[in-house]
Amino acid sequence: MTKGLGETQAAYKIWKNSSSSEESVSFLGDYHPPKGQFFFTAKDLRALGFGPGEYTVLAPEGSRHEIFSKWQTVTVPND
């Protein structure tokens, strides 16, 4: 069976970038974007429970990232 738009076998990897030189980059885990998307938005990261800050997202091999970089930076703003 063929996979639908935005669906990949592998998950995207997400890191929280450091906000100061005293803080290190933290790997947060593997996640799938909302159904039908092949990228993450700040709203998506908030829905996953991530707070304000800058995040780096790595698309899995074979995903539809040809239009965009396979590395994505997403900023979740303070409310």
- The predicted pLDDT at position 67 comes to 67
User: Residue 38: left (phi > 0), alpha (psi -120 to 50), or beta?
Assistant: alpha
Sorted by where each begins, the domain ranges of the chain are 12-76
Per-residue pLDDT tens digits of the chain, which is 79 residues long: 344 444 446 799 999 999 888 889 999 999 998 887 888 999 999 999 999 999 999 988 877 656 678 899 999 999 7
- The predicted pLDDT at position 8 comes to 45
In this prediction the pTM is 0.80
Q: Which residue has tokens 């997400």?
A: 14
